[in-house]
């Protein structure tokens, strides 16, 4: 069988596709798998590293600005939409997939639209609590809509196509227990660990806030911290800390450019401070980690806040908004949560109830059922 995946733009769109592709390859070692992404985007690196071939088309996002600049941008987007549809059709005709699966990103539209017109079964996975523009546009034409959050089903007119699967999580996140992870990191079992992570590039506002957080925490904070400053903010943050808190490392504050051993560090965490992208939320619920979210205010449709709100309403997390973030208030909340085993346990149990460890298997089942023309 031949499987085609369309995805791109962020790791949150790419990693779920890679997880499902891996499961399909386990079940059918002789199957053929091809990814389609956008030129010069993250998928052109992540997909080949995972052992899969990728073809690219040129797509452009849609501007929501009601300005002459926005109009000019959208004219260019329309041109690339037409061009990418022609490119996608050629790729599909040559590969002859049995099914095409989209897991997010603008590239999904020309690929799945072309596949649908060619009579090939199609499915789309939406990992966010509120569907993005691409998923909304595709919902009318695809055969199956797979959802990361049960709450998002109400946004679709064609609810009969919807099935709640959850969002796949990389298998490495199941490899560590907290005790094993803490031991390997050299952290005493009874010392709480706070993990602070804001993306591979980092976030300038969050690095500034965490500098103040570390300064306010002082010499005996009562917990260890691992903070990922990101490639664009690491040097500046370290310089600032050396000037204001020269003993920060002795105080148990570990500032890194990037957390390369993320599954192990997350397994060791007692509390996580982070953004609220869909994949991040899925990983945290999978690992039952109490969390304080600071959703990115720079994303389309404010979807990170909406993802975080689902978790907060369930009792697994708290939300701080970046615009009004106060480092002192954040530190006080961290200390409050860590000081209460009951609070940590309650939040952990709430995260566990949201977890969908079967997500990869469920999506794989839906994909195979569409290939066979069987509704499940």
Helix ranges (H only) for the chain are 11-27, 43-49, 68-95, 108-117, 133-138, 178-185, 204-217, 234-244, 262-268, 278-286, 303-314, 327-338, 341-354, 359-372
Taking the C-alpha atoms of residue 274 and residue 206, their distance in angstroms, rounded to an integer, is 9
Cβ atoms of residues 167 and 197 within 8 Å: no
User: Rounded CA gap, 358 and 277, in Å?
Assistant: 20
Under 8 Å between Cβ of 337 and 271: yes
Topology agreement, domain 2-169+358-372 and domain 172-354: yes
Q: Where are the domains of the chain?
A: 2-169+358-372, 172-354
| 31 backbone dihedrals φ, ψ, rounded to 5° | -70, 155
Give the containing element (helix H, strand E) for 124.
Answer: strand 122-126
Which CATH entry fits the domain spanning 2-169+358-372: 3.40.50.720, 3.40.140.10, 3.20.20.80, 3.40.50.2000?
3.40.50.2000
Give, as one character, the DSSP assignment of residue 61: P
- Spatial separation of the C-alpha atoms in residues 44 and 124, rounded to whole Å: 20
Architecture of domain 172-354: 3-Layer(aba) Sandwich (3.40)
Written as tens digits, the pLDDT of the chain (376 aa) is: 999 999 988 888 999 999 999 999 999 999 999 999 998 888 999 999 999 999 999 876 665 666 776 666 556 666 667 777 899 999 999 999 999 999 998 999 999 999 999 999 999 999 999 998 889 999 999 999 999 999 899 999 988 999 999 999 987 888 789 999 999 999 999 999 999 999 877 799 999 999 999 999 999 999 999 999 988 899 999 999 999 999 999 999 999 999 989 999 999 999 999 999 999 999 999 999 999 999 999 887 889 999 999 999 999 999 999 999 999 999 999 999 999 999 999 999 999 999 999 999 999 999 999 998 754 4
């Amino acid at each position: 069988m031949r499987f085609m995946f369309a995805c791109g733009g962020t790791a949150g769109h790419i990693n779920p596709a890679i997880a499902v592709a891996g499961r399909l390859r386990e079940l059918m070692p002789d199957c053929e798998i091809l990814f389609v992404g956008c030129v010069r985007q993250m998928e052109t690196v992540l997909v080949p590293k995972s052992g899969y071939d990728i073809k690219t088309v040129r797509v452009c996002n849609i501007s929501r600005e009601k300005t002459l600049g926005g109009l000019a941008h959208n004219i260019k987007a329309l041109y690339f939409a037409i061009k990418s549809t022609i490119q996608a059709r050629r790729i599909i005709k040559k590969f002859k997939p049995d099914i095409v699966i989209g897991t997010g990103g603008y590239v999904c539209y020309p690929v799945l639209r072309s596949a649908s017109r060619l009579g090939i079964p199609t499915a789309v996975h939406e990992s966010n609590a509120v569907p993005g523009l691409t998923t909304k546009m595709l919902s009318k034409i695809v055969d199956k809509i797979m959802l990361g959050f049960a709450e998002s089903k109400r946004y679709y007119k064609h609810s009969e196509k919807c099935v709640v699967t959850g969002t796949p999580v990389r298998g490495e996140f199941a490899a560590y227990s907290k005790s094993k992870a803490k031991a390997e990191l050299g952290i005493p079992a009874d010392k709480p660990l706070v993990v602070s992570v804001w993306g591979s590039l980092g976030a300038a506002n969050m690095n500034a806030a965490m500098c103040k957080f570390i300064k306010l925490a002082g010499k005996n904070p009562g917990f260890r911290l691992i903070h990922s400053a990101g490639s664009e903010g690491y040097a500046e943050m370290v310089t600032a800390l050396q000037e204001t808190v020269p003993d920060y490392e002795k105080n148990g504050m570990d500032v890194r450019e990037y957390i390369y051993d993320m599954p192990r560090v997350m397994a060791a965490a007692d509390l996580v401070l982070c953004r609220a992208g869909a994949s991040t939320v899925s990983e945290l619920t999978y690992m039952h980690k109490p969390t304080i979210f600071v959703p990115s205010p720079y994303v389309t449709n404010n979807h990170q806040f909406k993802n975080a709100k689902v978790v907060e309403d369930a009792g697994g997390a708290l939300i701080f908004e970046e615009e009004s973030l106060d480092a002192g208030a954040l530190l006080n909340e961290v200390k409050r949560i860590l000081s209460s085993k009951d609070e940590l346990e309650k939040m952990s149990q709430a995260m566990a109830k949201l977890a969908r460890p079967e997500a990869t298997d469920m999506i794989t089942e839906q994909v195979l059922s569409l290939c066979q023309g069987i509704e499940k």
